[in-house]
Amino acid sequence: MAKGVIMPKAGMAMEEGIIIKWLKKEGDSVKVGEPLLVIETDKTSMEVEAEVSGVLLKIMKDEGEVVPVTEVIAYIGEAGEKVGTPEEAVKNSAKGKSTEEKISETMPETESYDVVVIGGGPAGYVAAIKAAQLGGKVALIEKDNVGGTCLNRGCIPTKTYLKNAEIIHNIKNANKRGIILENSTFIVDMHETVKVKNNVVKTLTSGIVSLLKSNGVKIYTGTGYIMKDKSVKVGEERLTARKIILAGGSKANKINIPGIESSLVLTSDDILDLKELPKELAIIGGGVIGVEMAMIFSAYGSKVTIIELMDRIVPGMDSEISKELTKSLTKLGVKIMTSQKLEKIEEKGDRLYLYLDGNQVVEAEKALLSIGRIPDIEGIGEIEFEMEKGKIKVNDKMETSVEGIYAPGDINGRMMLAHAAFNMGETAAINAMGGDTRADLRYVPSCIYTMPEVGSVGLTEEEAREKYDISIGKFPFAANGRALASGESAGFIKVIIDKKYGEILGVHIIGPGAAEIINEAAALMSAEITAYEAANIIHGHPTFSEAFMEACADSLGICVHLPKKDIV
């Protein structure tokens, strides 16, 4: 009986193909392995070869037709042989193999691993290395460069730019310290600035690649998709694993308002590649990214305006931190507009006009959309997870609702910070390799690298008052010898404790070295060290960090270097 030629399934995601050209016509003799036709899939074009010898008896689908996979497109048999039904042809297709067997032959080759990690950001690459350290055969799939948003478009690039801003700040204030610069004017060469940033990023990404390779992790370049059978497809390859770690990270959030798609409206992912400094920059959103970018571009010479929907910038921080940071940014020339809703954006020539409620208009050369980030769930593929507001729901083990699949980092939305992702990635890897551990995210510090810096861990004053009878200690950097000597006396350290036991509930810092000092607070809180004990830890003098010890003492009413106060 005649054998059917079927539309091959040339890949896990392929559902149909287009017949581009028949290379043989009805009545032609064909041999095994000889090209019959050319088809096009969503990925590429390819030739379909004959799998039996004989005569091309009947062409069922014409050029240009879209045909579902496994459907009969032609018949091959002996000259004069009758053509059966399509069902019979499929059943008796090449070499008598079933449709299922035929499909499996056209699938990409399978490589098996103990753990496949999708995403090479902070959660992903750490998970891959940890799983390999625990003896696993590990693959890592990354569609861009390892390091994720943090290394390539976030934490590291912005800190490189912020260092330049710090240098500019020091140049401007040198004369206040008796250093007279005859010509203190400066120009920011954005081409060179971008080059420096790229070199830093390249150095770190290369280092991560080396770490992965040294641990025997196989790196695949492309977008990984989880298929229904829990295999992972990347390009035309298919990987199988005992466990999967989905660490897709996050992407810039957008708002649906008229004009938001203008090429003059940038995201946090692309603003750091600008080769020309905008004369005016409107920043939509006064969160962490927004205020850091405001600090950078204001120092570089742009006129910066922050537009914030809430009643204060960095609304997730303690309110006193927000107030102090507002003072600092305003002093540097940044205009801050709070409680403002953006209605629409108009592009007129090379200018942008941002219309706010209340008939206010902000004019700028460029705008930065900085309203946070959302999970990148592209790698989910064909799997249905339990979701929560667009985030993959996980437990403290980083397990998803689907057995054998873990989702650490930004993709679960628990805490979108690189250092939190490191911990979640390790947790996922340990559990994937048979361990039993949980991520404790109670004492994860948050940092803002402005001038002055901000560091925060634990409960805000508002949150603490709802649950505890609290006492607050505060030590100003204006009373700290190192800060005064350095000319960095703005800001304070605020410690919130539970009166009953002296438990440290929250620490909030704005001032020099805040991003470093906050780690001491986080470490002590994790170790359940009370304010009584912290107030007696001997610190080096003069140091910025001794202000933390003083603030702990102040929360107890025993600070030596502040006027006596009554604990209410």
Q: Locate tokens 């490189």: which residue? A: 160
* Residue pair 111/240 in contact by the 8 Å Cβ criterion: yes
Q: Locate tokens 């641990």: which residue? A: 215
CA distance 56 to 58: 6
Query: Cα 561 to the chain's mean position, in Å?
Result: 43
Helical ranges in 308-450 per DSSP H: 319-331, 418-432
Q: Are β-strands 280-284 and 366-369 bridged in parallel, bridged antiparallel, or unpaired?
A: parallel
CA distance 554 to 106: 72
CA distance 459 to 276: 41
CA distance 81 to 470: 92
- 261, with CB counted inside 10 A (0-12, 13-18, 19+), is exposed
At 334, list the tokens. 């940044």
- 190, with CB counted inside 10 A (0-12, 13-18, 19+), is middle
* Residue pair 293/285 in contact by the 8 Å Cβ criterion: no
Q: Is 561 a catalytic residue?
A: no
CA distance 553 to 545: 13
Among 169, 191, 419, 541, the active-site one is: 541
Q: What is the 3 state secondary structure string of 222-272?
A: CCEEECCCCCEEECCEEEEEEEEEECCCEEECCCCCCCCCCCCEEECCCHH
Cβ neighbours for 405, distance < 8 A, ≥ 6 positions apart: 226, 230, 243, 244, 245, 246, 383, 385, 399
Helical ranges in 376-495 per DSSP H: 418-432, 461-467, 481-486
Judged by DSSP in three states, 68 sits in strand
Q: What is the largest CA-CA distance in the chain?
A: 109
Element (H, E) at 492: strand 492-498
Q: Are β-strands 16-22 and 373-375 bridged in parallel, bridged antiparallel, or unpaired?
A: unpaired
420: number of Cβ within 10 Å: 21
Beta bridge pairs of residue 141: 118, 220
CA distance 241 to 139: 9
| Nearest Cα to Cα of residue 304 among 314, 313, 295, 312 | 295
98: number of Cβ within 10 Å: 11
CA separation (Å) from 567 to 4, 253, 430, 499?
Answer: 89, 44, 46, 10
54 φψ region: left (φ > 0), alpha (ψ -120 to 50), beta (else): left
| Nearest Cα to Cα of residue 548 among 532, 560, 534 | 534
| Nearest Cα to Cα of residue 240 among 254, 250, 230, 253 | 230
| Catalytic residue set | 541
